[in-house]
Structure 1
Amino acid sequence: MSDHEPPILARRTLLLAGAGLAGAGLPLGGTAAAEGAPPEGALTDLPLVPPRTEFVYEAVVEIAPLVPLGDSPLGERRIVPITGGRFQGPRIRGTVLPGGADRQLVRKDGVRRLDALYEMQAEDGAILTVRNQVLIDPGRDGAPDYRFSTIEVTAPEGPHAWLNRLVLVGTLTSLRPAREAVLVRAFRLA
């Protein structure tokens, strides 16, 4: 490589930085606004472009009463059977099939870890397997609960295979006492 030619890594860094600025809607020659500025303590000076979310579906998941499974070294174990429900979004809808369950661990610090595994059937008959892992931190000092999840959907090849290519995050809301169900909303990171 000659002295006049910048290293390939430096070119790539400049191209990526330019693409990041353009993708953030910032002028290439201007300064970054506070929103796109790198966070204090960041390792690079590239602008911060947080992911967006797009709604994929919501599911009303009907549940049976909680079954305690006893204490463990990690906390209290319990299970909540899934008995049915419905789901719907802009590109897909159908029913939540009975037979799944939400395995829960209530840690000594009060935080609950939920690991739900169940199937949903789309209107066209395709069966989707859903794994929803939720962390619930009870609100302290008047703050609301922290209830967010990562959702993995496994779909068969065909019209719903697009679900296999998404990173999904979700929210969880209890519908009690109105009904024995929870509301799961799924969003794709974009």
Structure 2
Amino acid sequence: MAGIDRRTVLGAAGLAAGIVATGASTATAAEGAVKGGRKPLTEAEFERLVSSVPMDQIGLELAYESVVDIEPSMVLGTGPWGERWMVPITGGRFAGPRIQGTVLPGGADRQVMRRDGVKQLEARYELQTDDGAVLAVVNNVIIDAAETPRYARSWLTIAAPDGPHAWLNRRVLVGTLGSLRPQRDAVLIRVFALT
């Protein structure tokens, strides 16, 4: 470290004086600064830490199933991420063990066919429960038609008002998406809460 003031190196890198005092190289000292001054995690230490916390099993609980009526796709042209469409949502019905009601018209599903062949969707719409509560839904979907069977999975956020349906605000929600054509111009969405 000839020609470099050691205090400048320490101040700039935010290192503890002990790193330089032990003869650590500048590269090693910089790595320590990036990692918050901790030693790299060894495989044995990793295994010890991971095994110290019991595995928390994740389960699924059906929240609801919905039949969402749609209109034909509207082509929006090519954007920076690929070909784009919008699919108007016109209504429908949903039901589950703790909740049921109607899909309100006026929402839309915006879709992008990415350059890698995967379709990405973001649907925004409202559900009205039979007891009058209105839930705002954002459903993000990934569809990979190259998979067999077709991969169509989603993650959702639902904003529910205070009251009997507020449990939806406090759960991680995931789902599936399937077409109901030709029986009906609609999609079937199944939503699950992670337990």
TM-score (norm 1): 0.74
SS in 1 for 2:102: strand
* Residue in 2 that maps onto 1:169: 174
Q: Amino acid of the residue matched to residue 114 of structure 2?
A: R
Q: Amino acid of the residue matched to residue 67 of structure 1?
A: M
Query: Quick one: distance in 2 between partners of 1:157 and 1:184?
Result: 24
Unaligned runs of 5+ in 2: 1-45
Shift of 1:54: 0.5
Kindly report which structure 2 residues correspond to 1:51-62, keeping only aligned pairs within 5 A, or say none: 51-62=58-69
* Residue in 1 that maps onto 2:50: 44
Kindly report which structure 2 residues correspond to 1:122-137, keeping only aligned pairs within 5 A, or say none: 122-137=129-144
Identity %, equivalent residues:
58
SS in 1 for 2:50: coil
Query: Quick one: distance in 2 between partners of 1:47 and 1:146?
Result: 31
The farther-off stretch of 115-124 and 43-52 is 43-52
Aligned equivalent of 1:113, options 91, 116, 120? 120
Q: Amino acid of the residue matched to residue 79 of structure 1?
A: M
Query: Quick one: distance in 2 between partners of 1:81 and 1:135?
Result: 18
Shift of 1:48: 3.7
Give yes or no for the alignment of 1:188 onto 2:193: yes
CA RMSD of aligned residues (A): 1.4
* Residue in 1 that maps onto 2:164: 159
Shift of 1:129: 0.5
Off by >3 Å, runs of 4+ in structure 1: 46-50
Q: Deviations over 1:64-93 (max 9, x none)?
A: 000000001210011000000000001110
Q: Deviations over 1:115-144 (max 9, x none)?
A: 00000000011100011000001134xx21
SS in 2 for 1:99: coil
> How many residues align structurally?
148
Q: Deviations over 1:30-87 (max 9, x none)?
A: xxxxxxxxxxx97722454431000010010000000000001210011000000000
- Which is helix-richer, 1 or 2? 2
Q: Amino acid of the residue matched to residue 139 of structure 1?
A: A
Query: Quick one: distance in 1 between partners of 2:130 and 2:182?
Result: 29
Shift of 1:145: 1.1
SS in 1 for 2:138: strand
SS in 1 for 2:58: coil
Query: Quick one: distance in 2 between partners of 1:87 and 1:150?
Result: 17
* Residue in 2 that maps onto 1:13: none
TM-score (norm 2): 0.72
SS in 2 for 1:51: coil
The farther-off stretch of 158-167 and 117-126 is 158-167
Query: Quick one: distance in 1 between partners of 2:163 and 2:131?
Result: 11
